[in-house]
Amino acid sequence: MISTFTFGGVKTAVHIQENLPSLKNIQSIWAGAPPSPTLFVCDSNTRHIADAARGRDESALCILESGEGAKNWQSVEKILEAAQKCGAGRDALFVAVGGGVMTDITGFAASIYMRGARLAFISTTLLGMVDAALGGKTAIDMFERKNFAGTFYPAQAVYMPVSVLGTLPAAQIKSGLAEIVKTAILDEESDDDIAFEKFYALKNFTTDKSDVLKKKLAKLIAEAVRVKARFVEADPQETGEARVLLNLGHTFAHALESSAGLGKISHGEAVAWGIARACELGLARGKTPKARGEKIRALLGALGYEIAAPHPAMKSLEVFMRSLDDDKKKKAGAFRFVVPAERGAVLIQLNGEKMEEMNLIKNIAAGAGA
């Protein structure tokens, strides 16, 4: 299935398909014969996928370290150097093979190579498919800040080969699934009862690798892509009120990830817990209907996420509150929370100056009730 979206004037073709694309498929980004080299960027975990897609060594390869630690300036330099060495011109095509780390770094490098090379992604994780690979956010970490430097530079083609999902560890599927639940909550056009039922059918995803499960997952990926694309098309650079809603549950989630210690819990687990907290905050501020909040929490619980507060991975409430405060400083001095609404979600901003607001957030994080 191919769907085409336009993000800030750039067309992105999303290919959700069973198998890997061939080199010929990927190079069809050019109308005729490739005018410039194709450079594949991967890490040691995805090298076999890059090799399978490259075919018989017809294109250049740059192998980076794996993991978040690779999202740095050295990796960008490595990609730029590899591109220069293989004689890539402005027309060159960079192809990232991997999850969010690979697509973020490669996207950034492509955006500055001779003021912008062509870009395609082969997304190999569930989280990457439903979030990172789509919408043009590129980044590297700097000065101990995640995603400190980056650009908006959408890939022209994103391949999502669902056959790779069968080889992913259950924890990675679980991490991606939380973002898909998030988009289902955000989808104002769908009915919760119908949307959520599809997730209940996936309850055994940790042990079930059957084709039926993969097919169900592929449908959910397609829906999540459609919903995310709608928000990004409306607000490609997050300057308006649409794209920010994709951060549902993320303010609580980021603070939990920092207070647990980076890498201690998966992003998806933190997002699921953050959505549960957002339901409580939304209820306390009169934005989330009680029944909808309960429905969302029941679904997250059934999928095996820890939704009770405080989260067992949280080192201390003080560290958690400090992380929230750091986030507030970055966001023009206000706590910005996206919470479920009657349909979809809404943004609420608390300046945190009133003791009552701080106590509300603290109580929610501590499980002391809203």
Catalytic positions: 115, 137, 179, 228, 238, 243, 247, 250, 254, 267
Minimum distance, C-beta of residue 118 to ligand GLY, in the bound complex (Å):
21
Residue of 54, 71, 137, 328 interacting with ligand GLY (CB under 6 A)? 137
Of the two residues 54 and 243, which places its CB atom closer to ligand GLY in the complex? 243
Instruction: Return all residues near 180 (Cβ < 8 A) that are at least 6 apart.
Output: 126, 130, 199, 220, 221, 223, 224
Task: Give the CA-trace dihedral at 73, 75, 77, 78, to 10 degrees.
Answer: 170
Minimum distance, C-beta of residue 181 to ligand GLY, in the bound complex (Å):
14
Angle between helices 267-284 and 250-260 (to 10 degrees): 130
Residue of 43, 104, 131, 257 interacting with ligand GLY (CB under 6 A)? 131
Stretch of 65-73, 130-138, 152-160, 310-318 contacting ligand GLY, by CB under 6 A: 130-138
Angle between helices 192-200 and 170-186 (to 10 degrees): 170
Minimum distance, C-beta of residue 231 to ligand GLY, in the bound complex (Å):
7
H or E stretch at 6? strand 2-7
Long-range contacts of 191-198 (CB under 8 A, 24+ apart): 192/292, 192/295, 192/296, 196/295, 196/299
The footprint of ligand GLY on residues 242-261 (CB under 6 A) is 243, 246
Stretch of 72-80, 129-137, 138-146, 214-222 contacting ligand GLY, by CB under 6 A: 129-137
Counting every residue, how long is the chain?
370
Pairing mode, strands 335-340 and 60-64: unpaired
Minimum distance, C-beta of residue 92 to ligand GLY, in the bound complex (Å):
25
Asked whether the beta carbons of 140 and 106 are under 8 A apart, the reply is no
* Binding of ligand GLY by 287 (CB under 6 A): no
The footprint of ligand GLY on residues 181-220 (CB under 6 A) is none
> Residue 40 has which token pair?
């594949």
Residue of 135, 150, 282, 293 interacting with ligand GLY (CB under 6 A)? 135
> Residue 304 has which token pair?
């095996």
Minimum distance, C-beta of residue 125 to ligand GLY, in the bound complex (Å):
14
Total residues contacting ligand GLY (rule CB under 6 A)?
A: 5
Which residues of the chain form contacts with ligand GLY (CB under 6 A)? Answer: 131, 135, 137, 243, 246
